[in-house]
Structure formats: C-alpha cells, structure tokens
Amino acid sequence: MLYDLCLGGVSYPALHLALIIVPDAPLNIYDLTRSELSDLLVSIGVNPAHTARVWRYLYWECAETFAAMEEVPARARQALASRATIGVLPTAIETDSGDGFTRKYLLGLTDNERIETVLMRFTGRVTACVSSQVGCAMGCVFCATGQMGYTRHLTVGEIVAQPVHVQRALRAENRRLRNIVLMGMGEPLHNFDAVMKAIDIFTDGTGLGLAADRITLSTVGVVPGILRLAREQRKPFHLAVSLHAATQAERAAIVPAARKWQLDELMAACRTYSETTGRRIFYEWTLIEGKNDSPEHARAVGRLLGDLPAQVNLIPLNPTQGYDGTPTRSEAARKFQDVLIHEFGIPSTVRQRRGIDIAAGCGQLAVAEKS
C-alpha cells in the first residue's frame, strides 16, 4: 500500500530485530477463534472461564509468551505452553519510509518463507496492510507479488499474527490499530477459508476489536469467492474489486486471472453481491499512462458500472522491476475523475502515493530471498 506525507525528509534507519518462536509447534494459538480457544482449555484440563483473560492477553496486550499472562493461573499457563505456541512472526527487517508515515515489516515464517506487512499512518488513521499468501498465483503483469509467483497460502495464524505484530508496535505509542486492508501479498479469495476465519478473529469485540467496516478485502475478481460472499452471512467488511480495464480483451492482457473469470461473469457476480448484501463495491483501477487513463477509458468504466452502487479507487501505477509502465499524471487522473462523476455520477478517489521509497506501495510487496 502506498501513502506518504512529508515529515521534513526525516529518514529512519532500517532496524534489524529477531524474536524467538518455538519451531514445529503442535498448535498455533492464533489459529483459533475464541470459542475454539475455550475448547482447547477444556481439552487440557483448564477451566474455560479463563478464556476471556487469555484472549485479552493475546489480542489486547499482544503477549508474546504464556508466561507473560500473569493474571492467568500458573498451572493453566504451563498447560497452554505444553500444548500450543503463540505464533509471533519474527521481524527479519523493519524499514520506515523517509516521511515516517509508512513502515514495512519483512516477517519470517516457520518454513523460512517470508512475507511483508505494512503499517500506514496518515490523516489520523492507523492501518495495517496484511498479506494472505506467500506470493500470488494470479500473475497481474504490473504487480511485484504476481511477478514472484505463488508459493503457498498463509495459515489463519500467520494472517492473524500480522495485525497483532503491528498492534504490538503501536502499544508503545498508546495507539490502537483501527483499520485493516487485505491488500498485501496474495489474493485473499484464493485463500478464502483462512482469510474469513482471520476476519472473524480480527473483529472479535474483546480482542483486536476491529469494526468490520474498518476492514477492506481486495480481490482480483475471483468470481466463486465473490458469489460465496454474497451467499454467506459474513461480517460487513468492505469489498474492493480490481478492474483496471473495462473490456475483456484489455483486462485479460494485464490481469491473466481474467481469462478464467471473464469480465461479464465478474460484473454479474458483483451485481449479485451488491443486490444480496446491499453494499457498494470499491472498484480499483491502476492508472497506467497511455494504457487505461484516457477520458474514453473513464467512459467505458462508467458504462460498465452502469447503475451498480460503486466507488472507483484510482491508483497511479507504482514502479516494479518486471513492468515498465508509467504512472498517470495527476492532471489526467483528475480528468478521469471528472468524467466519472459528471457524466456517470460515480464518486472516485486517487490514492495518495506513500511508502514508494521503501517499496511499500500497492503491488510493490515481494520477497526476493528466503531467510
């Protein structure tokens, strides 16, 4: 994700930290919902009345060890430690953007894979950009994650550990994480079940306690996943759909997943989603100069979205190694917005470019080497 406000050009040195986690853990406690935690306590002979306290230690205090849970009886802590671990992800590298508003964490997984998580703070909002996979199978040509290919899904615990990691850092400043965007590495609807369970854990009122409407899930357009969201009674988080082009041929050229889930099928799924849930969708459009940024392209977007409840989020292209397009200039982006609002009544925003100096912008997250 990308955001940067200028803080007098202050630059923060990269920090190198190492946390200790237990390898080959039998059970990662971050994999569990609160009711599953309660079941675990019962199964190890601990009174489930301690569930609320353990949960609070995990997600409010962001405890890294069971030993730190001082208000939980020692016998219960020992029983927990013998059966489970707290799947804290060790920080391999932590980098702050020059303006100090964006921080990128390179986090290690137990199999030596790595992922990136981004902490963004501007306009008074603190947001974590969370990854759902190691790499991505969707291959969008302009995206660094797509360029690295797909390695594996993240587990529930590995997804949950990311905002907890961010919250742990924020505690030192007496701030709390308020927003999560599932816009990091990977395609969240390709890892549907793990992502949905992680959202249930994020929104549990007594833990991280995020409001569902502070969570945005962005998808490349996995049609079965969108239809499943429409069918299932899920928490009311925001859905964003990455469009980037308004014709099947143009879209398939830059978003290979569009060959599998064609544009007309995708738009039908979006309509079903909006009609069933009553919610509008955010449509994302990476603005690439000379490719998809003319007033005529904006008209095609307007016609495509028609009467759907929609907002368009325009993202000027961020640089990646594998794609040499140029971001649209702000004047052309403004004209694009004018067409959308004046000719079609569709509101839009242009995403601020932040964190670009540390490659923490949209589509810039990638991991070159394993630890």
Task: Please pick, among 62, 94, 116, 143, the residue that the annotation labels catalytic.
Answer: 116
- Range 175-194, binding ligand SAH (CB under 6 A): 183, 187
User: Residues for the chain: how many in total?
Assistant: 371
**Measured from the CB of residue 96, what is the shortest distance to ligand SAH in angstroms?**
21
Q: How far is the CB of 250 from ligand SAH (least distance, A)?
A: 14
Cβ closest to ligand SF4, residue 87 vs residue 135: 135
| Cβ neighbours of 124 (radius 10 Å) | 6
**158 is annotated as an active-site residue:** no
Beta strands in the chain (DSSP E): 91-96, 102-108, 114-122, 125-129, 133-135, 150-153, 179-182, 215-219, 238-242, 281-287, 310-316, 348-350
Contacts of 212 (CB under 8 A, 6+ apart): 199, 203, 235, 236, 237
Decide if 116 is catalytic.
Answer: yes
Q: Does 159 bind ligand SAH (CB under 6 A)?
A: no
Distances (CA, A) of 202 to 60, 88, 158, 209, 279: 11, 16, 13, 6, 20
State the Cα–Cα distance between residues 44 and 324, nearest whole angstrom.
56
Q: Which parts of 232-271 interact with ligand SAH (CB under 6 A)?
A: 242
Q: Which residues bind ligand SF4 (CB under 6 A)?
A: 136, 138-140, 143, 145-146, 186-187, 220, 363
160 binds ligand SAH (CB under 6 A): no
C-alpha closest to that of 312 among 243, 211, 222: 243
In 3D space, the residue among 361, 366, 330, 363 whose CA is nearest the CA of residue 3 turns out to be 361
Nearest CB to ligand SF4, comparing residues 146 and 355: 146
The nearer residue to ligand SF4, 267 or 317, going by C-beta atoms, is: 317
With CB cut-offs between 5 and 8 Å by kind, which of ligand SF4, ligand SAH, none does residue 315 bind?
Answer: ligand SAH
Residues 352-371 that bind ligand SAH (CB under 6 A): 362-363
Question: Pick from 102, 162, 274, 318: which binds ligand SAH (CB under 6 A)?
Answer: 318
| Comparison of 54 and 195: residue with beta carbon closer to ligand SAH | 195
- Least Å distance, CB 301 to ligand SAH, is 14
Place of tokens 């990977």: 186
d(CA 227, CA 180): 22
Pick the closest to residue 90 from 175, 194, 17 (CA basis). Answer: 17
Give the residue numbers annotated as catalytic, written as ranges. Answer: 116, 362
Binding residues for ligand SAH, rule: CB under 6 A, are 140, 142-143, 183, 187, 218-220, 242, 284, 286, 315, 317-318, 320, 362-363
